[in-house]
Amino acid sequence: MKPFVLILAALSLVAPRGAPLRAQSTPAVRPWSVRMTESVMRRDSIVHPEWDYVAGVVLLGIHRVGERTGDPRFASYVKRNVDRLVRPDGTIATYDVEEFNLDQINEGKLLFPLLARTHDDRYRKAAGLLREQLRRHPRTSEGGFWHKKTYPNQMWLDGLYMAQPFYAQYAKEFGEPAAFDDVAKQLLLMARHARDPRTGLYYHGWDESRTESWADPKTGLSPAFWGRAMGWYAMALVDVLDFMPPSHKDRAALVRTFQDVARAVRDVQDPVTGLWYDVLDQPNRVGNYHEASASSMFVYALAKGARRGYLPADYRDVASRGFDGIVRDLVTVDAQGLVSLNRVVAVSGLGGKQKRSGTFEYYISEPVVSNDPKGVGAFILAAEELSR
């Protein structure tokens, strides 16, 4: 390498004392999935104090990194976090089945690899407890799971990711072939009700009763296309296909649905940065911004879809452009080497006590933060998928 090139390379890593380094898009010595995982572990011995989807997203990413690298630190971290809450008898601290909240299913995805590795029956019992929730979970008239008992008659895109990959893996691991029909039904119901025929994008929520303040009185749909909601749905589809039997009657429909979602996502990718906006179809409106968790989710889903053969190979290029944009514009590294993911919307929902309207103005009003676990977990999953 010529001397002036070496000098430029060195200068690119220089930052004022104590200031974060802007992450470079060139490959690091270690994969970004490992660097972010190690940063999570250095910051927090416990990802999240309660059993819920927040911890589930991060721990699933860390599990995938440990699975590929074989580094025992990562498996130990996941086990320590889960064992804080899963008791020896299989009951789960902070979890209440009577809440009938789909968000609470997501962390259960970690129970399968823990059971396979340790043969500790607590994990089987805990998985059975979550499965029991789904047996009793309230449903719409067509059989769609309510997002929560406190949100009657409503299906949200978020809930499809929280419950369906767990449900499909449970069906595979414990021999419930009839359950695959139900898994597919949930995903295809939202494809029927929430998809916008003009853009192919999906609305965040659907209220069968059409009585919620955010629901269109004719369609029952919420008003806008929120990025992270559609990210949840894209990840749900591609992960469920890991477990859906090749011969299942609805597998082809799920693949077609995923392909349709992928096209819609590709069409709203920012051609300049490779990123996606918080409200997907309104890039030029004042206040809209490139959002890290949705961008990470789309990178993960598109890269995995291309690797699995559900999508044409060039979708990996779409994913790679997205990941390069995340690393270039949304990731920083501090002087201690801790990696941070910035510009993550903290939370967005519909209705409830907060009277969340689901409009463009509502979504862009929610706080934007760094290192929110939902974004960090999705980033690890995306980085790990691209490294495969």
Q: Is 198 exposed, middle or buried (0-12, 13-18, 19+ CB in 10 A)?
A: exposed
Q: Which of 163, 318, 155 is nearest to 240 (CA)?
A: 163
Range 84-101 average pLDDT: 98
How many residues in the chain?
388
Q: Which of 311, 263, 329, 302 is nearest to 386 (CA)?
A: 302
* Residue in the structure block whose two tokens are 């859906």: 244
- How do residues 194-211 score in pLDDT, each as one tens digit? 999 999 999 999 999 999
Residue pair 63/382 in contact (Cβ under 8 Å)? The answer is no
pLDDT, greater one: 125 or 28:
125
Q: Which active-site residues does the annotation give?
A: 158
Instruction: Give the class (CATH, top level) of 30-387.
Output: mainly alpha
Residue pair 205/222 in contact (Cβ under 8 Å)? The answer is yes
> What pLDDT shows up at residue 388?
87
Alpha-carbon span 305 to 97, nearest angstrom: 33
Q: 3-state secondary structure string, 171-230?
A: HHHCCCCCHHHHHHHHHHHHHHHHECCCCCCECCEEECCCCCCCCCCCCCECCCCEHHHH
Q: Which of 85, 48, 84, 79 is nearest to 62 (CA)?
A: 79
What are the residue boundaries of the structural domains of the chain, listed by start?
Answer: 30-387
| 148 SS3 class | strand
Question: pLDDT-based confidence at 143, cuts 50/70/90?
Answer: very high
Sign of the alpha-carbon dihedral angle for 306, 227, 351, 212: negative
Contacts of 271 by beta carbon, 8 Å cutoff, 6+ apart: none
- How do residues 284-343 score in pLDDT, each as one tens digit? 999 999 999 999 999 999 999 999 999 999 999 999 999 999 999 999 999 999 999 999
> What pLDDT shows up at residue 22?
53
Q: Which of 133, 198, 186 is nearest to 157 (CA)?
A: 186
Asked which of 24-33, 44-53, 173-182, 366-375 is least confident by mean pLDDT, the reply is 24-33
Alpha-carbon span 123 to 357, nearest angstrom: 39
Any bridge partners for residue 332, and if so which?
22, 340
Range 351-373 average pLDDT: 96
- C-alpha to C-alpha distances, 183 to 104, 123, 127, 139, 387, nearest whole angstrom: 17, 22, 16, 13, 29
Residue pair 305/261 in contact (Cβ under 8 Å)? The answer is no
pTM across the whole model? 0.93
> What pLDDT shows up at residue 20?
52
Q: Which of 153, 172, 148 is nearest to 52 (CA)?
A: 148
Range 114-136 average pLDDT: 98
Residue pair 162/220 in contact (Cβ under 8 Å)? The answer is no
Question: pLDDT-based confidence at 148, cuts 50/70/90?
Answer: very high
| 3-state DSSP helix/strand/coil % of the chain, to nearest 5 | 50, 10, 40
Question: pLDDT-based confidence at 367, cuts 50/70/90?
Answer: very high
- For 139, phi then psi, to 5°, come to -135, 160
- How do residues 293-304 score in pLDDT, each as one tens digit? 999 999 999 999
Range 242-270 average pLDDT: 98
